């Protein structure tokens, strides 16, 4: 059944938490440069991908569904450092100065609003551009005001809030996260042990009818309380953790082993990276959040309970080491011990010399544009179809996450088809 999709009229405000970070500035520069014709949006599904229609015609996704044009985006956001987006991008050193200069004026105009921050949630960070709030509830109120002010000042019809800020420390689900009433109570009582700053951003976004995207592995919006709130407010939420490099490879290789019924008994993954993200993750409490996200991937693909002979005993280890000389140019190594016919062992080595933010930027943009589309199509709560972009896809207690990249890709196309009332083409015809 065809869904009613509101047109993408007017301007879309994209408010980025961590707007001075490497991923955020790389996404912003690339978007601004693309709309000026100075660069190509390589890696972006919304800008470049096509899909086959019922009549076998191949169409660009942006011609299949009404996405917001890059020209209509206005960027803003929050950061704990006051630098404008040009200064921040220079600091991040992901992109060359010549690529920044093409959009320098626009970048200089993007000045972060003071952040909702708590040092206990990211101990390696010491920023000064921070809100003063007596309670978490007050933090929320200030963020809501920021969203309203930004919308009015920039004449935006809609806003999406994207978390591209540092990974917060690991916390498990607790009673305060189990219902909206309990969450609001904990915010009002200023329970800073269980209410993270990211939860304040998410709550504020949902309250202001803005879809919220979680690009880090933080618990944040992945709680029954937030699922309840997003459904109550009819707002889409998505996450967690951009699936950019090593995990992307994992979710392609693991389905291949399984499809060919090859066994796996060990998967060792290690990384070195030297950007600020790496520095934050050097703290064991922050690393734990990332580790849980990275480890969750292969079990659900392998289904060891169904195939105990092949995957009943996989030793899976993930390491991230902070190594400043590499900056944003992460190097990832995977050693995979597999076995084949009659149990004979084999090894696969993957060495991915990637650029973290170059891989993450288009994912961030696509999540924003698809979240805005989902909102206009009346979809709310967890956007399972956006699992394609996430390392640790959000899911409720009744469902299993889907990690296989190709199944996730089918989910994207199926959702878009459902939106416009199309059937899948007959690939054998």
Ligand X SMILES: NC(=O)c1ccc[n+]([C@@H]2O[C@H](COP(=O)([O-])OP(=O)(O)OC[C@H]3O[C@@H](n4cnc5c(N)ncnc54)[C@H](O)[C@@H]3O)[C@@H](O)[C@H]2O)c1
Q: How far is the CB of 77 from ligand X (least distance, A)?
A: 8
Interface region with ligand X, contact rule CB under 6 A, candidates 22-30, 154-162, 308-316, 417-425: 22-30
Q: Which of 125, 133, 272, 338 binds ligand X (CB under 6 A)?
A: 125
Residue 241 binds to ligand X (criterion: CB under 6 A): yes
Q: How far apart are CA 261 and CA 272, in angstroms?
A: 32
What burial class does residue 289 get, using C-beta atoms within 10 Å of its C-beta: 0-12 exposed, 13-18 middle, 19+ buried?
A: buried
Touching ligand X, residues 376-405 (CB under 6 A):
none
Q: Which parts of 155-184 interact with ligand X (CB under 6 A)?
A: 164-167
Taking the CA atoms of residue 248, residue 254, residue 257 and residue 259 in that order, the dihedral angle to the nearest 10 degrees is: -90
CB of 335 to ligand X, least distance (A): 21
In sequence order, the 6+-apart residues with CB closer than 8 A to the CB of 195 are 136, 176, 183, 186, 187
Give the CB-nearest residue to ligand X: 21
State in angstroms the smallest separation of the CB of 162 from ligand X: 10
Q: CB of 150: closest distance to ligand X in angstroms? A: 14
187 binds ligand X (CB under 6 A): no
* Identified binder of ligand X from the candidate list 45, 359, 369, 416, rule CB under 6 A: 359
Query: At closest approach, how far in Å is the CB of 175 from ligand X?
Result: 24
- Of positions 29, 79, 208, 214, contacts ligand X by CB under 6 A: 79
Residue placing its CB nearer to ligand X in the complex, 23 or 206: 23
Shortest distance in whole angstroms from residue 291 CB to ligand X: 12
Pick the closer one to ligand X by CB: 112 or 263: 112
Q: Could you tell me which stretch among 72-80, 257-265, 342-350, 409-417 binds ligand X (CB under 6 A)?
A: 72-80
Q: Rule CB under 6 A: say whether 89 interacts with ligand X.
A: no
Half-sphere exposure of 324 (CA within 13 A, CB side): 1
Query: Closest distance between ligand X and the C-beta of residue 408, in Å?
Result: 16
**Residue 146 engages ligand X in binding (rule: CB under 6 A):** no
User: Of the candidates 75, 81, 385, 388, which one interacts with ligand X according to CB under 6 A?
Assistant: 81
* Subset of 253-312 contacting ligand X (CB under 6 A): 275-277
With CB under 6 A as the contact rule, the residue among 184, 291, 356, 372 that binds ligand X is: 356
How near is the Cβ of 369 to ligand X at its closest, in Å? Answer: 18
- Residue 109 C-beta: closest distance to ligand X, Å: 18
Tokens representing 200?
Answer: 């304040």
| Residue 80 makes contact with ligand X by CB under 6 A | yes
Q: Residue from 74, 103, 122, 264 that binds ligand X (CB under 6 A)?
A: 122
In sequence order, the 6+-apart residues with CB closer than 8 A to the CB of 247 are: 294, 297, 391
Nearer Cβ to ligand X, position 41 or 197? 197
Binding residues for ligand X, rule CB under 6 A, total 36
Q: Which stretch binds ligand X (CB under 6 A): 20-28, 176-184, 318-326, 399-407?
A: 20-28
Which residue reads 């190509």 in tokens? 40
From the CB of 172, what's the least distance to ligand X, in Å? 19
Segment contacting ligand X (CB under 6 A): 5-13, 73-81, 185-193, 229-237? 73-81
Q: Per residue, what are the HEC states of the chain?
A: CCCCCCCCCCEEEEEEECCCCHHHHHHHHHHHHHHCCCCCCCCCHHHHCEEECCCCCEEEHHHHCCCCCHHHEEEEEEECCCCCHHHHHHHHCCCCHHHHHCCHHHHHCCCCEEECCCHHHCCCCCCCCECCCCCHHHHHHHHHHHHHHHHHHCCEEEEEEEECCCCCCCCCCCHHHCCHHHHHHHHHCCCCCCCCHHHHHHHHHHHCCCCEEECCCCCCCCCHHHHHHHHHCCCEEEECCECCCHHHHHHHHHHHHHHCCCEEEEEEEEEEECCHHHHHHCCHHHHHHHHHHHHHHHHHHHCCCCCHHHHCCCEEEEEEEECHHHCCCCEEEEEEEEECHHHCEEEEEEEEECCHHHHHHHHHHHHHHHHHHHHHCCCCEECHHHHHHECCCCCCCCCCCCCCHHHHHHHHHHHHHHHHCCCCCCCCC
Single out the residue of 8, 14, 22, 169 in contact with ligand X (rule: CB under 6 A).
Answer: 22
Contacting ligand X within 209-238 (CB under 6 A): 215-216
Catalog residues that contact ligand X under the rule CB under 6 A.
Answer: 17-18, 20-24, 78-81, 92, 115-117, 122, 125, 127, 164-167, 197, 215-216, 241-242, 244-245, 275-277, 356-357, 359-360
């Amino acid at each position: 059944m065809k869904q009613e999709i509101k047109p993408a009229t007017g301007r879309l405000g994209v408010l980025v938490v961590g707007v001075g970070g490497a991923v955020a500035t790389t996404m912003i520069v690339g978007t601004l440069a693309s709309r000026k014709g100075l660069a190509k949006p390589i890696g972006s599904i919304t800008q470049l991908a096509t899909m086959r229609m019922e009549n076998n015609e191949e169409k660009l996704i942006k011609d299949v569904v009404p996405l917001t044009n890059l020209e209509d985006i206005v960027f803003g956001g929050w950061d704990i450092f006051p630098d404008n987006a040009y200064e921040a991008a220079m600091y991040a050193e992901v992109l060359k100065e010549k690529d920044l200069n093409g959009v320098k004026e626009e970048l200089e105009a993007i000045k972060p609003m003071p952040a909702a921050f708590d040092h206990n949630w990211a101990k390696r960070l010491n920023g000064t551009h921070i809100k003063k709030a007596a309670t978490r509830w007050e933090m929320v109120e200030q963020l809501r005001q920021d969203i309203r002010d930004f919308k009015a000042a920039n004449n935006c019809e809609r806003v999406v809030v994207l978390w591209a800020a540092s990974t917060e420390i690991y916390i498990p689900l607790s009673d305060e996260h189990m219902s909206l009433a309990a969450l609001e109570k904990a915010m009002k009582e200023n329970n800073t042990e269980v209410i993270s700053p990211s939860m304040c951003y998410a709550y504020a976004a949902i309250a202001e009818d803005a879809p919220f995207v979680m690009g880090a592995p933080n618990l944040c919006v992945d709680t029954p309380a937030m699922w309840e709130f997003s459904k109550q407010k009819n707002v889409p939420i998505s996450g967690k953790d951009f699936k950019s490099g090593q995990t992307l490879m994992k979710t392609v290789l693991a389905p291949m082993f399984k499809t060919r019924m090859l066994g796996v008994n060990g998967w060792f993954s290690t990384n070195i990276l030297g950007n600020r993200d790496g520095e934050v993750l050097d703290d064991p409490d922050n690393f734990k959040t990332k580790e849980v996200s990275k480890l969750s991937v292969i079990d659900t693909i392998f289904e060891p309970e169904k195939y105990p002979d092949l995957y009943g005993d996989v030793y899976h280890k993930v390491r991230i080491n902070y190594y400043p000389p590499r900056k944003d140019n992460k190097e990832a190594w995977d050693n995979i011990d597999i076995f084949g016919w009659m149990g004979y062992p084999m090894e696969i080595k993957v060495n991915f010399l990637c650029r973290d933010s170059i891989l993450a930027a288009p994912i961030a943009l696509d999540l924003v544009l698809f979240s805005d589309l989902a909102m206009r199509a009346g979809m709310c709560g967890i956007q399972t179809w956006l699992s394609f972009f996430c390392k640790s896809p959000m899911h409720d207690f009744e469902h299993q996450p889907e990690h296989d990249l190709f199944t996730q890709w089918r989910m994207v196309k199926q959702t878009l088809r459902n939106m416009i009332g199309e059937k899948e083409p007959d690939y054998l015809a």
